[in-house]
Structure 1
Amino acid sequence: MRYYRIEDDGGDRLAVTTGGDVYDLTAVKPRLETFDDLLRASSITDRSADSIATLLVDDAPTIDDGVLESSIGSPVHAEEVWAAGVTYAISEQAREAESSMPDMYLDVYDSERPEVFFKATPNRTVGPNDTVGIRADSEWDVPEPELGAVLYDGEIVGYTIGNDMSSRSIEGENPLYLPQAKVYDRCCSLGPCVTSADSISDPHALEMWMTIERDGEVMYDESTNTGEMDRTVQELVDYYTRHNAVPETSVLLTGTSLVPSESFTLQEGDVVDIGIDEIGTLTNTVVEV
């Protein structure tokens, strides 16, 4: 099942797709306004989110696809977003190319402990069709498309798409500048939905693609597979939650293997589309912040 957040004047609404139709779960249970609410209900009743949704679908009205497309918001209110780096070979190579200290990235790629870092808070995170940011003090900016694991009390409950916006020039100047390269206004996008963990056949066998358009011209168009990841999602989650007071709901981005060439940098007005099989497509426009 895929869960969406619909924004309207009356507040948020939780929608679910199953069998091709979109159902309004909030119309049946008004207190179920978000996926986070559904996760709390799941925890209290000791039933899966999908089983609760299945009970409600028969009584839920359908939602027009056009309403879903025009009113969709970030699917989960993650109190924290964290991210993993250097989990794909091409990511390690790109980080080496940009850095003044390239050997450190090779060490991380080959080491037992992965790179896991803080990425965003809710006020820095946007949803589908919103704008993502590039820093005004950065000269080299890229999107980083990533599979995102959605966690509740530290356990994987679903998957979404994440865009880990990054300043390669700031991080490349000195690795200690990583927080400034990664954490800033509109630095992260999530969406378009959360696909439940039970609905993902294998998180390590998903096709992923990204296109970047500028004034109608395709500037970048490449694809990959999460099977190229050097670590498992669960391994990354284990390191994120280890000795860490994680919030009730969080998202962990699992790294990227789609990296534009060194000659490319994002500009205002660029449109970034990121797609992952079994989840959907996340679309954002770029703005300078």
Structure 2
Amino acid sequence: MKLVRYGAPGAERPGVLDAQGRVRDLSMLLAEMGPAQMSPRTLAALATIDVERLPLADAGVRLGCPLGGVGKIVCVGLNYRDHAQEAGMAVPAEPVLFMKAVTALSGPYDDVQIPPGAQKVDWEVELGIVIGTRLKHVKKEDALGHVAGYVLANDVSERAYQTERGGQWDKGKSYDSFAPVGPWLVTADEVGDPHALDLWLDVNGQRMQDGNTRDFIFDVPTVLSYISGFMTLEPGDLVLTGTPAGVGLGQKPQPRFLRAGDEMRLGAAGLGEQCLKCVQS
């Protein structure tokens, strides 16, 4: 299934895509598309619904982040060898973890805000994992059984805030709109193998990133098992798995960063596409 949340910001309703890619309303069955709806039992029940009998949403309706009530966003840094190399950093021996604020979440076609005075806003196309059941000290061989589904995400980053302002990476990762997610939450059964997905990102029509999740340094089971040894992952939590080479910071002969008026288009096989315009905050 491809699950969505649609409507004005702060007033999104749960929905599902039909066979023609149209949004069908689920609000008479679900109050929200949130953590409680990520359980295997609920997803299995939704899979039995005759989607074609549900009311159609208005054509062109806004799509928001497809998951509401996200508890936390845990991110893996430097999880592609080529990205570590372009960043001039050693390939990590263990997954590098950091957090993004949930207030950074936005929809797949919403504007990305450039913070006042920011000069180094960057892009990062990523595969996101949506947690379905609680993980704590989970073995690798059991980890995929805790996944509800997957999403397309853009880990937008302000590099000066991230590396030149002291402290942790989080301050460069958490500005409002720095976590566009969606358009859909695709259930794990429909995605199949998460380690064979093409990822790409264009800026103003120029291809900047072109990768595949087969090139992960740490695969999905390893990442989930590792995180669960340091913190409990709850239903509805979001894990971002890292980005391939081609970010603005790694451009040669000099870095390239986002400015107001720039447009990003990005996508992942089976997970849909985003189109994001940059605006001055």
Q: What is the TM-score with the length of structure 1 in the denominator? A: 0.81
Give the match's secondary structure for 1:47.
Answer: helix
Q: Does the 8 Å CA contact 1:132/1:284 hold for their aligned counterparts?
A: yes
Q: Which secondary structure state, in structure 2, belongs to the residue aligned with residue 150 of structure 1? A: strand
The answer for unaligned runs of 5 or more in structure 1 is: 97-104
Q: 1:71 and 1:85, CA in 2 relative to 1: closer, same or farther beyond 3 A?
A: same
* Structure that is richer in helix per residue: 1
Question: Among residues 47, 50, 60, which one is paired with 2:41 in the alignment?
Answer: 47
CA 1:127/1:41 → structure 2, altered by over 3 Å: closer, same or farther? closer
Q: Does 1:195 align with 2:180?
A: no
Residue 119 of structure 2, aligned match among 139, 144, 153? 139
**Alignment pair present for 1:33 and 2:23:** no
Instruction: Report whether the alignment pairs 1:256 with 2:248.
Output: no
What amino acid maps onto 1:14 in structure 2?
Answer: P
Task: Please report how far the alpha carbon of residue 240 of structure 1 lies from its aligned counterpart in structure 2 after TM superposition.
Answer: 2.1
Contact 2:38-2:235 at 8 Å conserved across structures:
no
Residues in 2 aligned to 1:11 and 1:26: alpha-carbon distance in whole angstroms: 14
Q: Which has the higher strand share?
A: 1
1:227 aligns with 2:214: yes
> Is structure 2 residue 148 aligned with structure 1 residue 148?
no
The residue number in structure 1 matching 2:101 is 120
Change (3 A) 1:21 1:146: closer
Change (3 A) 1:42 1:9: closer
> What is the percent sequence identity of the aligned residues?
23
1: distance between equivalents of 2:216 and 2:270? Answer: 18
Distance 1:181 1:219, change over 3 A: same
* 2:13 counterpart residue number: 13
- 1:5 CA displacement: 0.8
Q: How many residues align?
A: 264
- Deviation digits for residues 135-167 of structure 1, max 9, x if unmatched? 334322211110000113342110001111112
Q: Secondary structure at the match of 2:31?
A: coil
1:9–1:208 Cα change, 3 Å: closer
**What is aligned with 2:273?**
281
For 1:100, the equivalent position in structure 2 comes to none
2:83 is equivalent to residue 85 of structure 1: no
List, as ranges, runs of 4+ consecutive aligned residues in structure 1 with deviation greater than 6 Å.
Answer: none
Per mean C-alpha deviation after superposition, the further-off stretch among 85-94 and 127-136 is: 127-136
SS in 1 for 2:126: strand
SS in 2 for 1:72: coil
The one-letter code of the counterpart of 1:142 is D
CA contact (8 A) 1:28 1:60 kept: no
* Cα distance in 2 between the residues matched to 1:207 and 1:267: 26
Q: Measure how far apart 1:94 and its partner are.
A: 2.8
Structure 2 letter corresponding to 1:259: V
Task: List per-residue Cα deviations over 1:145-190 (Å, max 9, x = no partner).
Answer: 1000011334211000111111223334367352222222222111
Q: Which runs of 5+ in 2 are unaligned?
A: 136-145
SS at match of 2:49: helix
